[in-house]
Amino acid sequence: MRLFYLLLIFPFLSLKAAPIDDLSTFRRHYQQLFPQLNLQDYANGSYAIDFISRQSWLSIEEFPPYIFAIEAGKILFETPFKNGNSYGDCFKNNGIAIAHLYPVWDSEHSEVITLAKAINDCRVDNQLTKLDYKKGEITQLLAYMAYTSRGKIINIKISGDNPKALAAYQQGKDYYYQRRGQLNFSCALCHIQNAGKHLRAEMLSPALGHTSGWPTYRLKWGEMGTLHRRFISCHKQIRAKSPKAQAIELRNLEYFLTFMSNGISINAPSTRR
């Protein structure tokens, strides 16, 4: 019944398609919906299609509020831990220009590792406490690391020969299309079926490119926040119980959604409403 319902609402969707086929279908859907846009435009979220708001956004970008997070993140990133190690020691290429490669599949632990989780794993490995996954210092570190990847193309790898990685991807995909909460909404209902339409005063952004700008200084929050903070906010808006930030469900969701943004360049950190 659920399969029939989803196919009725999203006739272009194949629930068991290979990731590369999903990506092709995603792009084709938005090309038909917004033929005036090229692929890289989707890095700008709703500002790619909301031309009135775009003018205000461009003005803000002249002196963006996230600039302070980048500066603070650089200091945090380069400051040695008490044991003499630093964040760079935990990552390939010393953590510089790698953000566009996350999330990754960790075969050793059979789970999706997001960049935020990798940062906290690094801290734990160096006998430090975990940072809050929604705001605060984690956003500064993510802002700096993402900034070093600006302009690089999102390139998430999902091996067709790895059934566990494919299962995690599929779980993230299922979560995206599943309706939940008192309002009975799904992520896809807003950002695929109704992308470009208004929900009250807000234009619903396309799902394509959704992960390219995080962390974000959100005007509604008045501060920096992470992608998982936004996931949780969406759950609240539809009156649904949300998993905690960096729970397996949300990491798998990020895995799916970021793969759907493959080919789009990182422009994080960013400013959003």
Active site residues: 234
The one-character DSSP state at 90 is: G
Contact 30, 208 (CB under 8 A): yes
Ramachandran quadrant class, 126 (left: phi over 0; alpha: psi -120 to 50; beta: rest): alpha
Long-range contacts at 77-86 (CB < 8 A, ≥ 24 apart)? 77/141, 77/144, 77/145, 81/126, 81/128, 82/127, 83/126, 83/127, 85/126
Cis peptide before 206 (omega within 30 of 0): no
Residues 183 and 238: their CA atoms lie apart, in Å, by: 5
